[in-house]
Structure formats: structure tokens, C-alpha cells
Amino acid sequence: MASHVFNENSSFIHTFKHQISDLVVTISDTIRDKSMENLIIDIYSKIFALLTNLKYLDLDLDADDIYHFRRSLLWNLRSTTCFSSNIVHLRIKMHNFDDCLRLLDGRLSQLHTFIITLDFIYDTWHGTNRHSLKKINNLNLNNFDVLYSLVDVNKKLNNIACDINFIRDVDLMTLPSNRANDWKTSVILDRVFKRILPRIHEKVEYLTIQGCFLQRLLLTGNYLSLRKLTLIDLEFKMASYVFSENSSFIHTFKHQISDLVVTISDPIQAKSMENLLIDIYSKIFALLTNLKYLDLDVDVDDIYAFRRSLLRDLPSTTCFSSTIVHLRIKMHDFDDCLRLLDGRLSQLHTFIITLDYIYNTWNTNARRALNIKHDSLKIINNLNTLFKLTCFSLCVYFSTHEFESLVVPLLRRMSNLEKLTLSISVRERNSFIDGTYLHKYVLSQMPHLHTFTFDIVTVIVRNNQQYKPSSDDIQRTFIEKGYHVDCYVDYDDITLDRCHVYSLPFNMKHIHYITHSFPGDYTIMLYTVVLLILLLKSPTLILSLQCYVYEGGFTLNYTVTSDTVPSFSKCQLINGGICWITVVWNQNNHTSSILVDSINTMFVNYTLEHIIMASADMTVVHQHEFPQNKCNDEMSLKQILRSLIIEDKFAQELTPLLEIISPFDAHSAACYDFNNSTIDCPSTDLGICQRCHISVDKEPPSSQQICATCPYYSEDANSISRQIMFLLDSRTQSQNIAKINCQLKACNSIDNINRVYKASKITFDFENHF
């Protein structure tokens, strides 16, 4: 009866398919052979797949007779088989741990209550599964959520949960705050700190925890393997206690911790709290002798300006940890910056500092200011550690007129820099800071520099000169040096003029004050990633193919991943010939859109092939052809996103290639002209050509195909693309194409094509997918 009831064509399914939300089923027959097991598997699958509105599901089998299944019930279930994603409560009996993991692989994406009875973790008579830990790591679960669920259930689950590869990195940020004073929170915290952490403390290497739990954590074990510690929202009082000579924390970890990230949450409201912070900073530097990576963040949600230099009165004999190679910190002024570069941090190669001021002239009289500058320049000229820096970031909140006198001399000493970030507002100049000035006085001294990110404001006192550079003039000075920027200029009617120029794409946390002239136009570079999934059907089955359709599609205010695919519960199922999904990631504003649709076609030439096509255009397109019913659903999309990796640095490394030249002169562009391609390659026509083009296919590597031309027709925009085709049936790659459409002189070169390959990565994990 159950097999008949839970069937696609049954009157029960026809009537209640979208209606039943709560279902409790007890199957009374005793299961005696493999055929009945197969029937159970089919019934399970049909209940999951056909009742689309299920929220509460309770499946009970042969409750009065403890029957052991002979094999995993879901072992051969295809990864693309769709379950109802609405289920929030599930009680079920299965064979072994594999069945449990498959029910937690993301298909039941809304599940919050899971009650499962198993015959075995693994039936050792039939062999064990060596890949269970990998499956656990691939679940959409925080590893600590799994620990919480599995520890102390039984010995075998303890062994799996406490495997060194699984508990090496523990993130406790999902724990409820200890400020929540209720019995449920107490039970959770007691289980974590009394049962779980004492079992795993010796194997934990990386730990993230709220500051309020630190003292309790230290009581759970000695954490002999702990190397990296992240403390979030640590209060001043606790920080002062923890980072003191006599604390148990220092006693335990003084020579052990190599990576430390600390966020202090208290707003700083008085001088006494500044003194406390200075003491905390000093103790961290002096007491943790093995530190290599240090990240100190203070009051991140409130831009607080310190009242004075934090390190000015620090004796030169005070020792810092000389092992630190990476430091991110907030300080008051340039003095603090220089003292951190005075040789005490002798191994430093990455230095990221945020300052309130270069110097706060409100607290500095003119005479003392001159002495400060003299002392600062003297210090700069004696700094030997500057030659070891390869990455430097300086962000200053308040404007300064000491850019040329102090900041530039400091930067010129950093001759080995590879990455430079500069965010600063400069006042009292008689000309704008542009690309020409920066190259001549700063960047030309850094021969190894490959990344320069900046946000620079210049406010000048007009000297009545007639020449007033436009924003295009300023931009051109950067573009000529290979930088992609945006800029706007305000000319005041009285005396002050202002220029704001910043690198693109803009990825800094803060931007300097913007005026009404700010362009606000992020369409300068259309930089999107697109995932197009086509799910085709064999012509013999076209009439029975069901596809999901969602009119208008999904508009999401976040970058969608396999973990954040929205529910398709509102999608309709219709008969169609081609099922497809298109995902567009807008990199300009970090939003996404998903279109789910079907084409009701009767084309007869489609073959039964499984294909994923991946391409990139500042834009990356993927096509996935799958001959399966209802497979353009959220689970198929999640499965594809889990197996597909798309990485590119097009915006960072190749943007200058896409400069628009108008009008375009095909003769002077000197486009590369070569063709050995077996596919259509348009011939060069210098009379009507609008841009150079090159397309290269490196698959197979032994027969590279090139089409380089200035064609009589072309796409409407300058673009860069990368495309790969994956054949699922043979689990092979059949295309590896890079394309450039551009207008700069000789831009369609093999060298530039190789830059496209180097700046992008598209891979598909067949093993994970299947």
C-alpha cells in the first residue's frame, strides 16, 4: 500500500502533493529480504521528493521488531536527487552513518530537528567508509556544530568527531552569549566547557572565541597545540587582566601563541582607558615572545580619535617581540608609527596601521611642531627595518599638511615594497596630487611594487593660476602609469579647490568624505560573474521533462554561494524541453540574481550529454547540461556551486587593457593578425574594425588554436573572457579558451592572452560532484 500511495501517479500524491505539511507514517510489515529493502528505499525517496510542502516528517518502520538493514539505504542515491527543502523536523530509521550524512548534505536545507536511529555507525562485516570525515567537512555545518552533536553519543562517533583533521580549527562564535541568563544557554555552555572542550583541548591548533568566554576556556585544558587565537569583543577589564605578567593566560601561552587577533569592544571614553590600552598594547608586545602575526583592533564600530601619542613616552629600552612579521594596529599619530618601525620589530614585513593624525596641530604649538618634524625626519633616516617591509598600509582619518615633509620621505625609504595602500587627505598644497607626482617622488623608488591601492584627497589654496586640471586630466596621469582610477574635482568660487582620486575597484573599509560631485557611477566597469546552467533532455523524453520556473527570478542583496542558495519552494513545476538557471553575481555592489526558467521546445537534435560550460568575461559564464527531471532546482545549483571554483583577478590586473579609445583608428592600433584555428575566424578589415580581437584555445595543449584579428564585426564593448568546458560523462575537460576584445595598440597579443590565463582559475571537482 505504501508503495502505491507514495507514487507519482497516485491519487494521494495528486491531491496532497502541495498540501500536506505534517506526515507521520508507521510501516507495519516486517522487512525480511533485499526486495523489501529496495521498496523501502523507493518509498523514502518518493516521500522526500513528491510532497513539496512537507515541514514535519516522522517515518517509523517495524517498531516492534528490531530489524537491521543489510546495507546503506541512500548509498546509491544520486547527488542531484531532490529532497523537499521545507522539512524542519525529521525522525527516521536508517542503516549506517553514510545515510545520516546524506540527509545532512544540504538537500534538507531548513532542517532544525533531526532524530535518527541507525543500525551501525559502519557495519565492519561489510567494510567501513574511509571518506566520512571528508563528507562531514563538506556539510553546511560549522565544525563545532558537528562536535556538539556527536561527542559522547558513542565511542565510534567520538573517534570521528575528535579526529585531529576535524578539530584542528575550532570556531566557537556560534555559542550564545553568557549574558543570556536562561537554562537553555546554561545547558549549552556546560556541555561545551565541561564535556566537549576537555576532550579535544590537546588537539586544537586554531581557536576563535568571544572574549567573555576566555577565562572559562582556560579552565578546560592546557591547549598544548594552540598556535592561533582569535578573541572577539574582549572588554578592557578582561584584556588588562589577561595580558598581565601574572595571568594564567601569559603563563600558559607566553612562548606558544604565534598568531593573535584581538578585537577590544569597549568604546574609549576617558584618558584612563587610553592608559589602559597603552598598557595592554605594551604587554602584548613584550610578553608573548613567539608572536609572528598580530592583529589589534579597537572599537571598530566607533571611529574614536585618541587624545595623544600612545607610544611617545615608551622608553626606548622597552622590548617588543622581535619575531612579529605581520602587524595590523590602530594608533594616534605618526610618532606611534615611527616607534613601531624603530628596530624593535626587526622581522616585520607586513605593517598595516590606521592613524588619527599625522600630527594633531590642535595639541601642538608651532615651535614644538618644528621640533617634532625634525625628530621624525631624523628617525626616518635611521630606520633600517624599512628595507625589510614588503607590504605597507597607511590610513589617516584627519587631514594633514605634512604629506611631503614626512609621509613621502618615509615611503621613499621602503624600496622593497610589493604592496602599498595609502588613504590620506592632504591640505594646504598649491597643486593636486596626481599620478605624475606620486610616480616621480614615491613609486619610482619601489621597483618591486605590483599593487598600489589608494584613496587620496587634496585640498589646495588657489594661487590664481589659470590652468585648472579636470578630473579627466587627473585620471590620465594615473592611467598612463597603468592604474585604473576614478576621480572628481571641486572648484570653489572663492579660494579652495578639492580633488578626490581613488583606485578601482574600491575595496577599502572607509572612503574619505565625498561631495556632491562624487560620480556615484559604478558602471565604469561592468564587472560581473554569471553562471548559466542549461539542463537539456534527450528528445525521447522531452514530453515528460519537468522544469522549475520562477517568474521574475530571485534578486539577492548578497553574493550567493552554495551555502546561501535561496529556497525554490515558490517555483512552479512545468513540462519543458530545456531547463535552465542563470546566476549573475554583480561584483560592483556585491549582489546576485537567479533566473529559473524553461524553454518548451521540440528540437530533435539534442544528444544525451552531461556538460558544464564555464566562461569568464569580467563576466564568467557556466553552462551545465544535465539529462534529469526537475534538476534545475536549488539542490542542483548547490551541488554545482560546491564543485565549481571560479577565481579571477581581472579587475586588479587587467583593467588597463580595457581602456576605451574613441575614435578608434584600426591602422594605428596595429592589431596582431594570425589564424590557425579550425573554427570560424573573421578576417581583418581595417576599414570598419572597431577593436582588436584574439581567441586562444589551449585544449588540448598539443594543438593550441589561435584567432587574432581586427574583424569587420565585433562585440559592442571591450572585454576579457575565459571559458572552460567540462564533460561529465568522461570526467574530462574539452575546452580552455581565453578571449580579449580591446582597443589599445597591439593589445591582442599572446602575452596578454597568457595574462588572462594567469589571472583566472576555473576548476570543477568531479569527485565531489558525484
Among 50, 89, 94, smallest CA distance to 69 is for: 94
Q: Which long-range contacts (CB under 8 A, 24 or more apart) does 183-190 make?
A: 188/148, 189/216
Cβ neighbours of residue 751 closer than 8 Å, sequence gap 6 or more: none
HEC letters along 287-323: HCCCCCEEEEEECCCCCCCCCCCCCCCCCCCCCCCCC
595-622 in b/e burial notation, b at 16+ Cβ within 10 A? bbbbeeeeeeebeeebbbbbbbbbbbbb
Q: For 477-488, what is each residue's pLDDT tens digit? A: 999 988 999 999
Enter the C-alpha cell of residue 572: 512552479
For residue 608, what pLDDT is reported?
39
3-state per-residue secondary structure call for 705-733 = EEEEECECCCCCCCEEEEEEEEECCCCEE
Please give the Cα distance from 112 to 223 (Å, whole number).
Answer: 32
Place of cell 579552565: 219
CA–CA separation, 548 and 696 (whole Å): 36
According to DSSP, the β-strands at 719-727 and 732-742 are antiparallel
Q: Which residues pair with 572 in a beta bridge?
A: 549
Q: Give residue 627's pLDDT.
A: 41
What is the per-residue pLDDT for 565? Answer: 84
| Residue 742: closest CA among 751, 729, 733, 734 | 751
Burial label, 390 (beta-carbon count in 10 A; 0-12, 13-18, 19+) = middle
- pLDDT at res. 702: 73
The separation between CA 590 and the C-alpha centre of its own chain, rounded to angstroms, equals 11
pLDDT value of position 106: 66
Q: Check: CB of residue 356 under 8 Å from CB of residue 397.
A: yes
Query: Cα separation of 202 and 223, whole Å?
Result: 5
Please list the rounded mean pLDDT of every run of 10 residues in the chain (770 residues). Answer: 80 85 80 69 79 84 54 56 70 79 72 80 52 50 59 61 70 71 74 84 89 88 91 86 88 91 76 74 84 80 54 59 86 84 84 87 49 62 75 91 90 92 90 93 93 91 70 92 90 76 85 75 42 42 60 79 80 72 71 74 41 48 40 70 82 82 86 83 83 89 86 73 78 85 91 92 80
499 pairs with which residues across the strands? Answer: 458, 489
Q: List all residues 6 or more positions away from 92 whose beta carbon is below 8 Å from its beta carbon.
A: 44, 57, 58, 59, 103, 115, 116, 117
CA distance 409 to 709: 48
pLDDT of 390:
93
> Cell for 350?
607586513
- At residue 185, the 3 state secondary structure works out as helix
Distance from C-alpha of 171 to C-alpha of 144, rounded to nearest angstrom: 7
Q: How far apart are CA 148 and CA 338, in angstroms?
A: 47
CA atoms within 13 A on the CB side of 515: 14
- Amino acid 289: pLDDT: 86
C-alpha distance from residue 655 to each of 435, 482, 523, 650, 651 (Å)? 17, 9, 14, 6, 5
CA-based end-to-end distance of the chain: 33
Contact 374, 409 (CB under 8 A): no
Helix (H, G, I), strand (E, B) or coil at 582: strand
The helix (H) or strand (E) run that includes residue 250 is: helix 248-253
DSSP-derived 3-state class of residue 547: strand
Q: How many other CB atoms are there within 10 angstroms of residue 64's CB atom?
A: 6
User: DSSP string of 320-338?
Assistant: --TT--EEEEEESSHHHHH
Q: With H, G, I as helix, E, B as strand and everything else as coil, classify residue 142.
A: coil
Supply the DSSP symbol for 53: T
**What is the distance between the alpha carbons of residues 722 and 720, in angstroms, rounded to a whole number?**
7
Per the CB < 8 A criterion, the answer to whether 39 and 67 are in contact is no
Q: What is the pTM of this model?
A: 0.54
Q: State whether residue 595 is helix, strand or coil.
A: strand
| H or E element that contains 581 | strand 578-586
Q: What is the pLDDT of residue 201?
A: 86
The owner of cell 572565541 is 209
pLDDT value of position 545: 60
pLDDT at 707: 92
Q: What are phi and psi of 702, to 5 degrees?
A: -75, -15
| Cell numbers for 404 | 611631503
Q: 14: Cβ–Cβ under 8 A, 6 or more apart, which residues?
A: none
User: So where are the chain's domains?
Assistant: 2-140, 528-638, 653-769
Helix, strand, coil percent values for the chain (each to nearest 5):
30, 25, 45
**CA-to-CA distance for 224 and 256, rounded, in angstroms?**
8
Buried b (16+ CB within 10 A) or exposed e, 247-270: bebbeebeebbbbbbbbbbbebee
Residue 520's identity, in one-letter code, is G
Q: How far apart are CA 509 and CA 354, in angstroms?
A: 11
Are 220 and 196 spatial neighbours (Cβ–Cβ below 8 Å)? no
Other CB atoms within 10 A of residue 633 CB = 23
pLDDT at 63: 43
Q: Are 392 and 351 in contact (CB under 8 A)?
A: yes
Q: What is the pLDDT of residues 503-549, one digit of tens each?
A: 988 888 778 877 777 775 433 344 444 444 444 433 333 334 677 88
User: Residue 543: its pLDDT value, please?
Assistant: 39
- Rounded CA gap, 345 and 327, in Å? 9
122 with 97: CB under 8 angstroms? yes
